Homo-oligomer: A and B are copies of this chain.
């Protein structure tokens, strides 16, 4: 059976700040630039999730789209949309993971892959902060 890929995009709007409290202000500014500004900033994030699976002979699909949409609504949109990542999500509290696009990809990968139905697997998670910048995770350790 041939294996194909399906990619769905969802959107969320969130605030964040790049800052390590154990570093000096100067080191934070040197490493994170304007992303270390004290009150944070934000993005309209586009998140693209790609699933791989065999094409089912009767449905013509690699995954049921309604099932995938439910997972993304709960694990991505409801979790991140209209949040301040550092202040609303314990994983990104200052001193823990910095909420970069890369870290968000790893986080979304763990949560979405744990809930995918049988017969398909996660292939790529992309998080786009602006039209000219995105991060991706493809399951490589």
Contact = CB atoms under 8 A, between A and B. Distances in A.
Interface of A: 1-11, 13-16, 18, 20, 31-35, 37, 39-45, 50, 55, 58-62, 64-66, 81-84, 87-88, 97-103, 105-106, 129-138, 140-141
A16 to B, nearest CB: 7
A101 to B, nearest CB: 7
A39 B40 CA distance: 11
B15 A40 contact: yes
20 contacts: A1-B141, A4-B105, A5-B135, A5-B136, A5-B138, A6-B135, A7-B133, A8-B133, A11-B131, A13-B129, A14-B42, A15-B39, A15-B40, A37-B83, A37-B84, A41-B42, A41-B81, A41-B82, A43-B43, A61-B100
B98 A59 contact: yes
A136 B83 contact: no
